[in-house]
Structure 1
Amino acid sequence: MSPSSFSSSPSPSPSPASSSFIEPRLLRAFVTVAEELHFTRAAARLYVAQQALSRDVRRLERELGAELFVRTTRQVTLTGDGERLLPYARRVLQAQDELLAACGQARPLLVDLNSPGLGTPRRVLHRARELAPEQELMARYESGLTGAAAELIAGRLDASFGRYAGLAPALRNQLAHQPVRWEPMAIVLPETHRLASWESVPLAELAGETVYAGAGNPRTPEWTDLAHRLFEGRGIEVAAPAPLAVGAEEFQRIMAKSGSPVLAVVSFPAMPGCVLRPLVDPVPLSPVSLVWRKGLAHPGLDALRRAAAETAAEEGWLRRPADGWFPAMDIALMNAHKRHVANT
């Protein structure tokens, strides 16, 4: 790779000609930052410290003799050299993945668990690791299935969990799914809320309340849509869009500030200063599927699918209670999957 491949300006020392080998790790760092245009988010995707990621990018720039990003306090953008490098770097990384797979060294399976501590995806992943200890199944946290779907289709993520019926048809056409659970829904309440002392909360008791359900979050419109369907005709309002609270501390602060209940599922992790109460009369059900891109072949995915099926059977996750509520479109897609499995 010659200096002129990226820039006609004089190259800082050392020049690209002095580097006979570029570590794939450096290219992966570059590609991730190029896709996120944000060093903090890129570091989170790679599970590395931001300082380490910045160090790798600077090292790659020195080895290539080209500046790849323009960094300011407000934004990160690709330079012309960075834009020219990006497709080459992606092809190198894809070739490396294919080489390792061909040699029997399958790459890790990247599994989105939606949110840290969320029970259903975590239990399936734990079971899959027990079934296939030789495979590396790496957890990721994309917040919602719509956000994860774009990553699945782009090949930057391998599997996720969520409401498959809530995805746009164009996304569903590129993805496969396996029903995992009809998960009872719940409400997160501040400890001071009038309903906090109740063991369960009838939906009718939420009439007149404004409930947060992720409105405005581009990663979770499938969840907001489920809330609208559930609340329709019950006098319950979906809270207006608000900044996403990341982490228990921020969640607690926002809850204390707004006082709004939050729509959740029964496996939602405990949060300080809040209580989780199941919803009843009727019991609203959140349909959870394991989702992956069509055509993906990976032994880790095989283990994940087996783990989902076994855990669902043992726990009765796909049995719907007699007083359960769910959207018609969701049951239609779940039943279509059941017929497809029966016919293959």
Structure 2
Amino acid sequence: MQVLVIDDAQINVTLLCRLLDKLEHCSSLSFLEPERALEWCESHIPDLVLVDYMMPSMNGIEFIRRFRAFPRCKDIPILMITANDEVALRYEALEVGANDFLIKPVDRIEFLARTKNMLTLRSHQRMLEDRAEWLNAEVLKATEEIRAREQETILRLSKAADSRDPETGAHIVRMANYSRLIAEQLGCSLEEQQMLLEAAPMHDIGKVGIPDHILLKPGKLTPEEFSIMKSHALLGFQILDGSASSTLQMGAQIALSHHEKYDGSGYPQGLIGTQIPLVARIVAVADVFDALTSERPYKPAWPIEQALDLLREGREKHFDPECVDAFLARLTDVMTIREKYQEDKDDLKRFGSY
């Protein structure tokens, strides 16, 4: 354990350090100038501080006040050494954070006893700190495991919906990563980006409730069939709504609103502009682009430039113009994602940010 000794008199410093040498597992570091000691404390944490009261440039009370201002030094034991035994001085020292006192001339037995007590106190503090750090690490580990299980469950549920649709598992991975990319470009926080990455695959989960003869129909849907198909947005919301999970709550928003259009011509609510949740506006761009550029049993894949032209033409009509611009600004990254997550390489374990 390291003891910091601050005294402007070299003879006093030498005496105190020699006494500290008698203690096991204890080393000392001395300063004749309190300012230098404070500089050292900016990047180091002592286990005990011995500070003289009467020093020319800064007295012991002022040193303690500044020392206690360091966030990591608020609980470090401090012994103040003084030739002044006035009660008022002791009160002032206690108020700024001193833990105990030694009166000059220092008695060797008393010094060792008080120092041992302070180091024992510090030893217990360190044990508690180590325990708290270990518990925090365990909580973080458990939380990450829960998040990983939740993410896998979400992706498997999303793939269950897609398994009844001509779309593929690779599609939901790509569009989720496109969505995160748009969110990053728009300045969303890292937490929001990660949550969107995990929630976006649930956009079409309501398709589990659509009959096969409609969902898998190769030709154009009748108005009645299309009306039933559109109900998947509300079905998805009803499946996910009310969850305690923030990710599922975002998924519910996306499922309900990703078919809304910026000009109000979408479904199911006919929302306009920023009435549509931002995450749904983001997913709309990512989902349409990937659907257009992917081959399906009922259509060939569109050329990239043709799909991009559709996004440009759809600004302020189908799509939020800011989301389109964010997507276009990251085309190099979009192509990286598109290449990484191909249909024949789809793998649940590889789901995540590119």
> By the TM > 0.5 criterion, same fold?
no
Shorter chain as normaliser: what TM range?
A: under 0.3
Q: Which has the higher contact order (CA 8 A, sep 6+)?
A: 1
Between Structure 1 and Structure 2, the one with more helix by share is: 2
What TM-score does the superposition give when structure 2 sets the normalisation length? 0.19
Bigger radius of gyration among the two: 2
